[in-house]
Amino acid sequence: SQTIHQWPATLVQPVGSPLSLECTVEGTSNPNLYWYRQAAGRGLQLLFYSVGIGQISSEVPQNLSASRPQDRQFILSSKKLLLSDSGFYLCAWRLGGLRAPEAFFGQGTRLTVV
Amino acid sequence: KQEVTQIPAALSVPEGENLVLNCSFTDSAIYNLQWFRQDPGKGLTSLLLIQSSQREQTSGRLNASLDKSSGRSTLYIAASQPGDSATYLCAVTLAWGGATNKLIFGTGTLLAVQP
């Protein structure tokens, strides 16, 4: 069966520090991968998605970047965090293709920038 | 631009009641609609996926319906229990999104089932 892992679960970082959040998927190959952010009292906003190794698309301009160094690994990064980067970050995967199978999410990372 | 709306934003019911959560979307060109549950501070758990060609899906006490032409879906929860308390989110996948299969989310319904 497929599983998705996200870490760390919580993170408190000072403004201006770097960030690296990691997401890995097991039990499947060539998944579509996604990073979402959920700000307090707001819906889920799609930040990045990837349909293959090294292929990253950004949905909104921001202080963050994403990379996919391996087929089942998706990394969210920042060189210098801002207060506005605080939020709940969720990684998701689903198989690609035109019929859009079920999507699955990780347990999330709570990021607080202080 | 696809917009997804969920009504009500919050709902409180006594244990044992049957209830309906609503989701509406503006662009009917979707592949499917998926319902999720989110417990406080946790990730999303998939509940039901309805393909655009289907009208409903059932899983235990949950039944989701889809009327693509009118841009509406409902999630019916039978005999609610305190353990059903959570935020419920619906999300659509656009048919014109190509292979990216991005999910567009509603803002959720916060459900509290009182014992």
CA distance B112 to B19: 11
Question: Which residues on chain B are in Cβ contact (under 8 Å) with A39?
Answer: none
Residue A42 pLDDT level (bands cut at 50, 70, 90): confident
**Chain B residue closest to A111 (CA)?**
B41
Question: Which residues on chain B are in Cβ contact (under 8 Å) with A99?
Answer: 31-32, 51
Q: Which of A25, A91, A105, A112 to mutate against chain B (most B CBs within 10 Å)?
A: A105
More confident residue, A107 or A43: A107
A-B interface: how many C-beta pairs under 8 angstroms?
67
B24-67, pLDDT tens digit by residue? 999 888 889 999 999 998 999 999 999 999 999 999 999 999 99
Q: Shortest CA distance to B32 belongs to which of B6, B68, B3?
A: B68
**Chain A residue closest to B96 (CA)?**
A98
Phi, then psi, of A38 in degrees rounded to 5? -120, 105
Residue A60: how many other CB atoms lie within 10 Å: 10
Taking every pair of C-alpha atoms in chain B, what is the biggest distance, in angstroms?
Answer: 45
Across the interface, of A49, A90, A102, the residue whose CB is closest to B34 is A102
Q: Worst-scoring range by mean pLDDT, B13-22, B34-43, B93-102?
A: B93-102
Question: Which residues on chain B are in Cβ contact (under 8 Å) with A102?
Answer: 34, 46, 49
CA distance B27 to B25: 6
Distance to chain A for B42, nearest Cα, Å:
5
More confident residue, B105 or A97: B105
Close Cβ partners of A64 (under 8 Å, ≥ 6 residues apart)? A19, A47, A48, A76, A77, A78, A85
Does the beta-carbon distance from B99 to A107 stay under 8 Å? no
